Structure 1
Amino acid sequence: MVDAGTPQRIPTPQSRGLHVEPMIGLEWSEALEQPFGAQPGSPGEARLSWVHRAPEVQVLALYRAARAADPDVPAPWWLRALAAGTLTSRLEGCRIEDRVTKLLDARPGWVFVPWGEEGEPGYWEYMPSERALSRPGMPTTLAHTDRHTGWIDVVPVHAGPTPPPIAVGGLADLRANLARLESLTP
């Protein structure tokens, strides 16, 4: 019989010898998850996960909670920029991706690669740049970034160590310098 005046000790998972993992990491991983078998042909077609469909305030709140548990948690570039206050909305990030897609789709040689860093929409490769290599390597690669407010980085074609990315100052800068970026050689 329990005495109503005596506080009862409630067993915790730790007191029972169980190891408890934070659930926020699992919840965040599920928020980034793409449907099985999805093979998007552009960043726009890759917008299928919860982070792209849920209300922006909920996405931002969950991301901040996940980041509090793990500062290096994967996330789309636009969400990191939104959380930092350098991008105004998810829609703005999507528009940037869509404008780059429109520009690169109109040029021969650019191919969208739908995999890469976890949480990211993918990246673009300029396949003709591989011809400049005398041994296997990586073609010129374009990816979106939150590293600067031009939102676009280009890594030149290379064999061997990856060179530092070239910061592109936005869509107008990309359009004006795309031929030069396509012609970079190792």
Structure 2
Amino acid sequence: MLDLEWSQAIELPRFALPATRPAELRQAWVHRAPEDAVLGLYRRTSGTDDALPAPWWLRAVASGRLESRELGFRIEDRVAQLLGKRMGWEFVPWAADGESGYWEFMPSERGKSGHSIPTTVLNTDRHDGWIDVLPAHSARAPEPVAVAGLAGLRSRLGEFEAVR
């Protein structure tokens, strides 16, 4: 029953409209309920299951490495503010269960380099920069590039956007 309760906690409402930014996806219980209740249910449900579907920020808060859900939302929103203003970047709302979507650099797909999967920017709890970039590729996915926060992403965008 705990697994069922968790799946309902991360499920978006049926009436959810297509999202163009992470903030528009924040309609599930995990986004609106008191943070301590969300954290408590997550801890009870996850136990030793590292593969439990959950937003990156919740895993980071549960591990004690991120201060709050609100800070996670701010990080997502700042990435959206940066990439949403740049040509070629599109928000993809259909990420893994519980996740917050990701950004793709469309010119890197099927361009001169011939990649079939575009450069992708996503939030992560893998490291304290909270941002990973998955370079454009065609075959097996390369290792994600750990980016040192929003400033690191901003400073390296030219490099990431050069692949076309």
TM-score (norm 1): 0.84
The AA in structure 2 aligned to 1:178 is L
Q: Give the whole-Å Cα distance in 1 for the aligned partners of 2:148 and 2:14.
A: 35
- Answering whether residue 112 of structure 2 is matched by residue 132 of structure 1, we say yes
Are 2:80 and 1:80 aligned?
Answer: no
C-alpha distance in structure 1 between counterparts of 2:15 and 2:112, whole Å = 33
Secondary structure at 2:47's aligned position in 1?
helix
2:130 matched to 1:155? no
Runs (4+) off by over 4 Å: none
Query: What RMSD, in angstroms, separates the aligned Cα atoms of the two structures?
Result: 1.3
Please tell me the residue identity of whatever aligns with 2:95.
G
CA drift of 1:123 comes to 0.6
Deviations 1:125-173 (Å, cap 9, x if unpaired)?
0001111343x61000010000000000000110111000000000001
1:28 and 1:63 in contact (8 A); partners too: yes
Residue 60 (structure 2) pairs with residue 95 (structure 1):
no
Largest Rg, 1 or 2: 1
Q: Any stretches of 5+ residues in structure 1 without a counterpart?
A: 1-22
Partner of 2:98: 119
Contact 1:142–1:152, Cα closer than 8 Å, also in 2: yes
* Counterpart residue type for residue 141 of structure 1: T
Relative contact order (alpha carbons < 8 A, sep ≥ 6): 1 or 2 greater?
A: 2
SS in 2 for 1:153: strand
**Residue 6 (structure 2) aligns with:** 28
Query: Which amino acid counterpart does residue 91 of structure 1 have in structure 2?
Result: E
- The alpha carbon displacement at 1:35 in A equals 1.3
Aligned length: 162
TM-superposed CA distance for 1:36, in Å, is: 1.4
Partners of 1:24 and 1:69 within 8 A in 2 = no
Q: Deviations over 1:67-96 (max 9, x none)?
A: 017342110000000000000000000000
In 2, distance between residues paired with 1:154 and 1:168? Answer: 7
Displacement after TM superposition at 1:59 (Å) = 0.1
Q: Percent identity?
A: 55
Q: Distance in 1 between matches of 2:42 and 2:93?
A: 22
Distance 1:154 1:179 in 2: 13
Secondary structure at 1:143's aligned position in 2?
Answer: strand
TM-score scaled by length of structure 2: 0.95
